[in-house]
Amino acid sequence: MDRETFKIHEKEEVGEVHISNEVVAIIGGLAATEVEGFAGMVGTLKGDIVELLGRKNLSKGVLVEVGEDSVSLSLSIIVDFGANIPDVTKNIQEKVKLAVETMTGLKVDEVNIRVADVNLGQK
């Protein structure tokens, strides 16, 4: 198994199933968008330059690390001004863990959150 996909079934009656890291990242990113106080995902470009990512690029703000039989995710996010950051991040961790485990059957060891910016409501 390469580290870019997870094998979730051994060869059974029909064949093998692999889930790419990008799919796991997209599931995590979409789950995060459901949390109140979440304003967006960010990706880093050469150093600390931050780029706001739209819905089409949710996987770019999520790093997936593969363990022997589990996965860890790290998300870089923007929160809305006035939101309670500990509550927002805890809710994101819970939603992401539940979504990834439910949709893929993989065990999620940890969901790390990096709050990279605050949305001041200015576009």
pLDDT-derived band of residue 56, with 50, 70 and 90 as boundaries?
low
Domain for residue 111, yes or no? yes
Which has the closest alpha carbon to 31: 118, 109, 113? 113
Domain for residue 38, yes or no? yes
What average pLDDT does the structure give for the chain?
82
Query: Euclidean distance between the first and final Cα of the chain, in Å?
Result: 43
Q: What span, in angstroms and rounded, lies between the C-alpha atoms of 110 and 90?
A: 12
Domain for residue 6, yes or no? no
Domain for residue 96, yes or no? yes
Domain for residue 14, yes or no? no
Position 44 scores a pLDDT of: 53
| CATH code for the domain in which residue 66 is found | 3.30.70.1350
CB 59 within 8 A of CB 29: yes
Buried b (16+ CB within 10 A) or exposed e, 59-78: bbbbbbebeeeebebbbbbb
Domain for residue 67, yes or no? yes
Range among 11-25, 33-47, 89-103 rated most confident: 89-103
Domain for residue 114, yes or no? yes
* Domain with 105 in it: 21-119
Domain for residue 16, yes or no? no
Domain count, the chain: 1
Question: Which carries the bigger pLDDT value, residue 46 or residue 17?
Answer: 17
